[in-house]
């Protein structure tokens, strides 16, 4: 969770300020992202390969600073338009979950490729 501290803070603030579906979805997406990061690190260690990290040039696979910048923009949008909280939180949750799922799919493809090539 080293790189997602801004998103975690935003999720906790949303859960405190506006508990409900969108905040719960963002917390669940962050937990999914953390689980995928741990599992891909375990797969990389087990296979002895380096899986692609958050520095990929991809919108869906954005991680690290790119994802934290998106969270900071979402936070600013929540301050400017508090009536749009459910929409903004849901969008951030969806982007976070899509990134985690895409990263897991990429890791599975790399590990399968290594296994099939051996």
pLDDT tens readout for residues 15-62: 777 778 888 888 888 888 888 888 888 888 888 877 666 555 454 555
Phi, psi of 15 (to 5 degrees): -65, -35
- Looking up tokens 């590990």 gives 111
**SS3 label, residue 63:** coil
Q: For residue 112, what pLDDT band results from cuts at 50, 70 and 90?
A: confident
CB contact burial 28-59 (16+ within 10 A = b; e otherwise): ebbebbeebbeebeebbeeeeeeeeebebeee
Give me the residue spans of the domains in the chain.
Answer: 2-117
Helical packing angle, 21-47 and 85-117, nearest 10°: 20
Task: Record the pTM.
Answer: 0.74
């Amino acid at each position: 969770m080293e790189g997602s501290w801004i998103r975690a803070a935003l999720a906790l603030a949303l859960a405190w300020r506006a508990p409900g579906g969108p905040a719960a979805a963002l917390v669940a997406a962050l937990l999914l992202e953390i689980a995928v990061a741990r599992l891909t690190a375990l797969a990389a260690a087990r296979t002895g390969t380096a899986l692609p990290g958050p520095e990929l040039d991809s919108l869906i696979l954005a991680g690290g600073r790119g994802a934290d910048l998106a969270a900071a923009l979402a936070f600013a949008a929540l301050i400017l338009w508090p009536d749009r909280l459910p929409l903004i939180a849901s969008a951030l949750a969806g982007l976070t979950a899509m990134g985690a799922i895409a990263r897991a799919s990429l890791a599975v493809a790399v590990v399968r490729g290594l296994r099939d090539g051996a």
